[in-house]
Chain A
């Protein structure tokens, strides 16, 4: 069935309906289609909720739906592990890249509403107890996708939308985007055949939106594999010249160093617990596990020092008073000897590292202060295994 698309902002705009299939135009458009024309006449546009990560694939999937006259709104889930510019926001020396949320940026390019949802607490169970296990590091990709599609399904039901779309591509991710895992996500999320993957749809069994004619399967794609050329070509066709393509994905849990720090956090606590501050701090500074009882977080530049200053009410912290240098947080119980060692390490990472003696001020959250006059710790006394 050939479907034509009405592009009018007016509910009563039947007379000015265009029967041309829309071509893609870059830039935000808020004049969403309200009606589609089919063989029986005008019918309300179907509504799809799109998982918008801020990457190119989800953007393309949403645009393919818009071009079929589907009303699309986006969901973006904040798990606390999103890469999304945090380190760039914190570190002054990383400010070359624009300080923007890529999901919001994508939504503006598409002209769709974006609803950003805080799932930090709910997501803990996914990270701590993934039913399908972890990927290469602490990334529970398959559970994560099932969780997000489930949240999207709940949102869809609450708001009267018709189906869900994602930017998943068959074979693109070894853990979660495979022919055998796609049905798992559909089943465990409860979305079943209301989950449409427009970029690979032609390689998959028809979903309800295709079977019912809400979308034209022939105008969906058959992308497969890890290559990016088709997506980049499609982006050019659509006029998307600026889009995020994070090399390591959009989640810190796929990052080896970050996963090591998270493992250390859990090990030091004796169980898998975390709160939002914990996982934000894992993104910042040098982390030195000096002893099982405590670790140090050492700011690497002024932006990180400023960020760490926000935690002075929670952690004992140190800084040299007579030289420029880092703010250092003590996470755990350092004790007397540990605090002295922390002062020497603080001096070692500051401008006074070559000085004979450096004055370091330690402050505990209750406001108590202590001054240490210490010799900076030589690098030879900093075991590599302390670095997380």
Chain B
């Protein structure tokens, strides 16, 4: 397990691109790893947690500062499609 959070920079991207970037990165990580997704589209506040709920990942925090949003996610168990 990594102690530091991987950074996914999805600023300036509109949803669903932040979700796609997060999905791609999380797919390369191990269960328990942490990812911090930087966004500017306020839709990410809804979409990233929704995607995490569907795929078993945990949103640890969402922080909004000025026009920037940081969503921190702990990667859940690896799940194979169809199982």
A→B interface (CB under 8 Å) = 28, 47, 71, 73, 76, 78, 82, 84-86, 89-90, 98-101, 103-105, 107-108, 112-118, 159-161, 280, 306, 310
Contacts and interface: CB of A to CB of B under 8 A. Distances in A.
A72 to B, nearest CB: 10
B45 A99 contact: yes
Contacts of A89: 14-15, 41-43
B65 interface: no
B46 A100 contact: yes
Contact of A101 (B11, B12, B19, B80): B19
Contact-residue size bin, chain B (C-beta under 8 Å from the other chain): 20 to 34
B82 A47 contact: yes
A106 to B, nearest CB: 10
Contacts of A114: 51, 54
Contacts of B46: 98-101
Given A101-B16, A116-B19, A73 B82 contact: yes
Contacts of B40: 310
B14 A90 contact: yes
B54 A104 contact: yes
Interface of B: 11-12, 14-17, 19-20, 23, 40-43, 45-47, 50-51, 53-55, 67, 79-82
Contacts of B82: 47, 71, 73, 159-161
B53 A100 contact: no
Nearest to A110: B54
A108 B46 CA distance: 12
A104 B47 contact: yes
A113 B54 contact: yes
Given A84-B15, A306-B67, A99 B50 contact: no
Nearest to A101: B47
B56 to A, nearest CB: 8
Contact of A105 (B12, B23, B50, B67): B50
Nearest to A104: B50
A115 B81 contact: yes
A110 to B, nearest CB: 10
A113 B17 contact: no
Q: Which 6 A-B pairs have the closest CB atoms?
A: A99-B43, A159-B81, A104-B50, A310-B12, A100-B46, A101-B47
Nearest to A118: B20
12 contacts: A47-B82, A78-B16, A82-B16, A84-B16, A99-B43, A100-B47, A101-B19, A101-B43, A113-B79, A116-B23, A159-B80, A310-B40
A118 B53 contact: no
Nearest to A82: B16
Question: Which of A47, A104, A115, A306 has most B Cβ within 10 Å?
Answer: A104
A99 B42 contact: yes
A107 B40 CA distance: 24
A107 B54 contact: yes
Contacts of A280: 14
A76 B43 contact: no
Nearest to B19: A116
Among A71, A90, A114, A280, chain B packs the most CB atoms within 10 A around the CB of: A114
Contacts of B53: 28, 108
Nearest to A54: B16
Contacts of A115: 23, 81
Contact of A108 (B14, B50, B79): B50
A303 B37 CA distance: 22
B37 to A, nearest CB: 14
B65 to A, nearest CB: 15
A47 B83 CA distance: 10
A28 B52 CA distance: 13
A292 to B, nearest CB: 29
A71 B79 CA distance: 14
Nearest to A161: B82
